[in-house]
Structure 1
Amino acid sequence: MSQLTQSKPTETFTSVEPSYGKRVVTSTAFMIAVVVVALVVLFGILSPNGIFFSGANFRNLALDSAQLILLAVGMTFLVGAGELDLSIGANVILSSVVAAKVITWLGGSPQEILAGNYANAGIAILAGFGAALVTGVLFGVVNATLVNLLRVNSFIVTLAMMSAGSGLAYIVTGGVNVSSLPREMQKNFGSADLFGIIPIPAVIAIVIGIVAWYIMTKLRFGAHTLGMGSSIRAAERAGVNVRRQRVKLFAIMGLIAGLVGFIDIARFLTTNIQGHQGDALAAIAAVVIGGTSLFGGRASVLGSMIAAIIPAILINGLVIMRVGSFYQLVVTGVILLIAVGIDQRRRAQQK
């Protein structure tokens, strides 16, 4: 008697990967881009005579956004590594002050400087640019060195350095802004357009953002950075020199702050020792809204770049609608609170 064996059909489970289009639409960067477009439309409708939609205003938005985009890119690496830098505003001020002093020192005689006629404009501007970058990097290295030596949270160290950096800027300038800088800076860089279309500072911000995205997502440096944010002990066991990596991260942030400081004086031809108070909070807010975890381990450079446009749009729109400038600090604080709320919600969903 033959025995019939009935085999059960084998069930195979295949995981269906979401399509590229679906991943893009559901990404944080895409959702932030939608918010940006919505804000532009809203202010365009509310602004008198639709002035918000004018080409000149969009150019101003690009210039205003460029500096915050750069700071947000640098902050993305720090926050992704579980660090913070509250002193970037002071770093921007100090770097711009040192650059301006170098430019006026090398530019010509005191009489020529007062008249705005620089005999050695080219050499002075290049030296000032280098001085801004070096100052920014040194400021960042000091931050990292103090964190490594004192073994305290970077929040505390950079909070103290924020006060120290601002004080140094006042000491160097005597509490007076350095003005009458070479007009060539503004004409050829600070307010110049590439091919007459997009401001050069905005182009620089985009290029640096793309490079930063590549480093974060494709290179070992980015993996080590996120590894620090996930677990410093695990990163050390994996062979990451955490102290050296921290110095590199703060140095990069300082380099970007120095660049922003030079862009600032190139655009306005004067320092602003009382400005940049909300730069750190605005950058942190953009980073967190853009998809980077406030507690480290996850970062999105692209999301940070897009989110950095939001404060610029809000402040620009409020100015056009003739809302007092002091509301800018209120807007920054509200955006930061929203960013923290978004981050907490993300963390709760991942548990």
Structure 2
Amino acid sequence: MNLTKTSPHTSAATFSSSEPPLAKRIVTSTAFMIAVVVLILILIFGLLSPNGVFLGPTNFRNLALDSAQLILLAVGMTFLLGAGELDLSIGANVILSSVVAAKVITFMGGTPEEVLAGNYSNAGVAILLGLLAAMVTGTLFGIVNATLVNMLRVNSFIVTLAMMSVGSGVAYIITGGVNVSALPRELQRNFGSADLFGVVPIPALIAVLIGAIAWFVMTRLRFGTHTVGMGSSIRAAQRAGINVKLQRMKLFGIMGLIAGLVGFIDISRFLTTNIQGHQGDALAAIAAVVIGGTSLFGGRASVLGSMIAAIIPAILINGLVIMRVGSFYQLVVTGVILLIAVGIDQRRRAAPS
């Protein structure tokens, strides 16, 4: 910045004129650059896919559904990484929450015979109770994470790594290692695969709405300021009067709540649990968040960037499937994206401010 002497009577307009124009700030923002990358990927797969099927409305709907869950997880992870925390157990939380929700739905839905046949006499009540069970389970899981971090005074990386095994193990114990299936078709028809006005998938709309709320909280409310302050310097945050332990509890609770919602969306789409899936959810969310402009080491967070970047894995995996590349390449894609994210973050940290 070019510093020059100014008169005490210099108007505020003189200082405001030194700020970059709004259009320039938008164009140079990480979110805008990630959006450009998303558009380029869409065009590439559109050209390479047979008969341009990738650019069809049906495929865009599938992309919206596939990316909705990761967008939600990325939003929650943005707050944690912004605060200098980490949650590697969100995949296990999603599994456990979905299992609890499915068990509640099958228990409350009707007689064992009705449930086995998929004809639920109390489908509406059962689904609502299942949603509540998933969100409560996820929130409690997150609160346990935060409590352990606060009590043991160890890095959240270690705690959530251990809780990843605990959560998966509890899910296996509850189910006996067998997926809960034969869930009510109304769950899928009216929510999991339903479209608002026949255009926008409801899960994708929920992801966007929650992301918008999260953006407002992060950029406009004190909660967001405290979150980023913790990531910048936890000692400085404590000296500023921030209750770090309580804030950590809230952050992990929010992450858990979102994971519970994702678990419910998952069973609503496929009408079965997936106790062997979601192993790469945490890494995918972390990669999206870091690529989107949030620092891996805290102190900087971009909800909008995370949401846009969360679309990238869905595009890559969807495009590879359309091009008949094996689905097992998903793990390779996730790993490569994570490495790219770490490299981008290191370059950001090394760049002069």
Alignment TM-score, normalising by the size of structure 1: 0.96
Q: Distance in 2 between the 1:112 and 1:284 partners?
A: 41
Q: AA paired with 1:68? A: L
Q: Which residue of 1 aligns with 2:54?
A: 52
Q: AA paired with 1:57? A: N
Q: Distance in 1 between the 2:249 and 2:220 partners?
A: 21
Q: AA paired with 1:236? A: Q
Q: Distance in 1 between the 2:234 and 2:45 partners?
A: 44
Q: CA deviation at 1:326?
A: 1.1
Q: Which residue of 2 aligns with 1:312?
A: 314
Quick one: which of 94, 97, 101 aligns to 1:95? 97
Q: Report matched runs for 1:220-231 at 5 Å.
A: 220-231=222-233
Identity percentage of aligned residues: 82
Q: Which residue of 1 aligns with 2:122?
A: 120
> SS of the counterpart of 1:350?
coil
Matched, 1:30 2:32: yes
Q: CA deviation at 1:20?
A: 0.8
Q: Distance in 1 between the 2:181 and 2:248 partners?
A: 36
Q: AA paired with 1:284? A: I
Q: AA paired with 1:300? A: S
Q: CA deviation at 1:50?
A: 1.0
Q: AA paired with 1:65? A: S
Q: AA paired with 2:304? A: L
Q: CA deviation at 1:268?
A: 0.5
Q: CA deviation at 1:19?
A: 1.0
Q: AA paired with 1:182? A: P
Q: Distance in 1 between the 2:124 and 2:328 partners?
A: 37
Q: Which residue of 2 aligns with 1:298?
A: 300
Q: Distance in 1 between the 2:27 and 2:201 partners?
A: 29
Point out the more displaced range, 337-346 or 42-51.
Answer: 42-51
1:62-105 CA-partner distances (Å, limit 9, x unpaired): 00010000000000000000000000000000000000000000
Q: CA deviation at 1:350?
A: 3.0
Q: AA paired with 2:195? A: D
Q: Distance in 2 between the 1:164 and 1:318 partners?
A: 33
Q: How many residues align?
A: 343
Q: Which residue of 2 aligns with 1:219?
A: 221
1:177-233 CA-partner distances (Å, limit 9, x unpaired): 000100001111000001111000000000000000000001010000001000010
Q: Which residue of 1 aligns with 2:271?
A: 269
1:120-164 CA-partner distances (Å, limit 9, x unpaired): 101100000000000000000000000000000000000000011
1:16-62 CA-partner distances (Å, limit 9, x unpaired): 22111111111100000000000000011111111111111100000
Q: Report matched runs for 1:129-144 at 5 Å.
A: 129-144=131-146
Q: Which residue of 2 aligns with 1:205?
A: 207
Alignment TM-score, normalising by the size of structure 2: 0.95
Quick one: which of 106, 110, 113 aligns to 2:112? 110
Q: Which residue of 2 aligns with 1:149?
A: 151
Matched, 1:161 2:183: no
Q: Which residue of 1 aligns with 2:3?
A: none
Q: Distance in 1 between the 2:18 and 2:237 partners?
A: 32
User: Structure 1 stretches (4+) deviating beyond 6 angstroms?
Assistant: 10-13
Q: AA paired with 2:77? A: M
Matched, 1:246 2:237: no
Q: CA deviation at 1:264?
A: 0.4
> SS of the counterpart of 1:277?
coil
Q: AA paired with 1:55? A: P
Q: Distance in 2 between the 1:115 and 1:154 partners?
A: 44
Structure 2 unaligned regions, length at least 5: 1-5
1:295-322 CA-partner distances (Å, limit 9, x unpaired): 1000000000000000000010111111
> SS of the counterpart of 1:84?
coil
Q: CA deviation at 1:254?
A: 0.1
Q: Which residue of 1 aligns with 2:282?
A: 280
Matched, 1:39 2:41: yes
Q: Which residue of 2 aligns with 1:185?
A: 187
Q: CA deviation at 1:281?
A: 0.3
Q: Distance in 2 between the 1:20 and 1:108 partners?
A: 57
Q: Distance in 1 between the 2:163 and 2:232 partners?
A: 26
Higher Cα Rg: structure 1 or 2? Answer: 1
> SS of the counterpart of 1:325?
coil
Q: Which residue of 2 aligns with 1:82?
A: 84
